[in-house]
Amino acid sequence: MSEETLVNRHRAVLPQWLALYYKEPIEIVRAEGRRVTDSNGNTYLDFFAGILTNAIGYGVKEISDAIRAQLDTGVLHTSTLYLIRKQVELAEQIAELSGIPDAKVFFTNSGTEANETALMLATQQRRSNQILALRNSYHGRAFATIGITGNRGWSASSLSPVKVSYVHGGYRYRGPFAGLSDKDYIAACVDDLRDVLQTTTSGDVAALIAEPIQGVGGFNVPPDGLLGAMKEVLDEHGILFISDEVQTGWGRTGEHFWGFQAHGITPDALTFAKGLGNGLAIGGVVARGDLMDCLTANSISTFGGNPISTAGAKATLDYLLDKDLQGNARKLGDYLLRGLRDLGDKYDVLGDVRGKGLMIGMEFVSPGTTPSPEAAGIVLEETRERGLLVGKGGLHNNVVRLAPPMTLTETEAAEALEILGESVARAQEAVK
């Protein structure tokens, strides 16, 4: 079947808001390591799947073996009303890794559901439906999570049941707080938080939810300590703090295992998904025992934490801890950041390079600091032509996002840098 036909069939039967990357969308049919092959036989180095679903790469024997062993029992799933050994083992391991005191874990199928659950817990315990979120956030696509998604390009409906107020706290390249030192930026965000609490809420807010580094919003890295300074204000009001670790968890940021650890705090709850499954559907919430158990009615997920997804997730977690992939993310992240900053010095169109570990954003601008979605679009197409898959994001769709699997090698990082160099040069020529 030709690509064209599959694209047309996709467009005819799937919603128009289910966007596809690339002028000629690709169908990935095989994968190994960090490389994927499309149905036309083209092979690409995958610098985006790391965030989307795949923390450690494709075709990893230890993970395939764990999934196959579960398949061989014949039990893909029965019901979460029965005991599932791997679910308990994985929960014990994640609870301990979270650092949250007396932690309990609830498994879901996605990050959206994880955040929906965290919101349900926080609103239930605090008896308030008021939530604080960061401007330009992304937390999911269900009815409540859409309401706390502050990036209009992704917030498909305004009819959410949650009463949300947005505060500053991630993006520093443009906007009212651009150019401030770390210390002044933190002070400005804390002032803004106090102001929003006073002016747009009744004070009894349930929780603040934040991505320690905004993902969809363009890999926006706040200064270390920001969320800690904000949490001091929250604590004055008994407001809970939820850390959305869907993109920042599992050591991807290199420095820390969880994104919140750069801020010297422990959240009341954290949410996770994506990478842990290495391709399987899994997500979840970790919360203090009293918060998790504040629900008194039953609230199960029939599929969350099923035998297959927990077997795959447990193998993924063991693998990334055994191989110190966090250390690899730090080393290769530093290498990529250095190379990309050199590119930024060379090409005006690359206005900002930022990131931590293997979570790196390249913001495209022209002229001056005006967002250039056009340049980012050119880089997306040019990298693909040269055998590299990258992501896009940012409020203005002008940020190229790099998030390779954490097993990335130095040779692959160098290859990507070269392709990005050529592609940014093309974008510079095209928009000048």
The binding site for ligand PMP (CB under 6 A) comprises: 110-112, 115, 138-140, 211, 215-216, 244, 246-247, 273-274, 283
Query: Rounded to whole angstroms, how far apart are CA atoms 425 and 432?
Result: 11
Residue 268, number of CB atoms within 10 A of its CB: 25
Q: Between 112 and 125, whose beta carbon lies closer to ligand PMP?
A: 112
Residue type, 32: E
Q: Between 274 and 426, whose beta carbon lies closer to ligand PMP?
A: 274
Nearest distance from residue 274's CB to ligand PMP, in Å? 6
* CA of residue 79 relative to chain centroid, distance: 29
- Residue bearing tokens 């009815």: 143
Query: Rounded to whole angstroms, how far apart are CA atoms 191 and 172?
Result: 16
CB-based contact 391:44 (threshold 8 Å): no
Nearest distance from residue 356's CB to ligand PMP, in Å? 15
Query: Rounded to whole angstroms, how far apart are CA atoms 415 and 33?
Result: 15
Secondary structure of residue 106 in the 3-state scheme: strand
Q: Between 150 and 344, whose beta carbon lies closer to ligand PMP?
A: 150
Nearest distance from residue 108's CB to ligand PMP, in Å? 9
Query: Rounded to whole angstroms, how far apart are CA atoms 169 and 198?
Result: 17
Nearest distance from residue 281's CB to ligand PMP, in Å? 8
CB-based contact 336:420 (threshold 8 Å): no
Q: Between 286 and 413, whose beta carbon lies closer to ligand PMP?
A: 286
Radius of gyration of the chain (CA): 21
Residue 203, number of CB atoms within 10 A of its CB: 11
Query: Rounded to whole angstroms, how far apart are CA atoms 255 and 399?
Result: 23
Nearest distance from residue 113's CB to ligand PMP, in Å? 7
Q: Between 244 and 268, whose beta carbon lies closer to ligand PMP?
A: 244
Find the residue with minimal CB distance to ligand PMP.
111
* CA of residue 183 relative to chain centroid, distance: 26
Q: Between 143 and 335, whose beta carbon lies closer to ligand PMP?
A: 143
Nearest distance from residue 138's CB to ligand PMP, in Å? 5
Nearest distance from residue 43's CB to ligand PMP, in Å? 26
Nearest distance from residue 142's CB to ligand PMP, in Å? 8
3-state secondary structure 411-429: HHHHHHHHHHHHHHHHHHH
Q: Between 110 and 130, whose beta carbon lies closer to ligand PMP?
A: 110
Q: Between 19 and 83, whose beta carbon lies closer to ligand PMP?
A: 19
Query: Rounded to whole angstroms, how far apart are CA atoms 17 and 255?
Result: 36
CA-wise closest residue to 209 among 142, 149, 160: 149
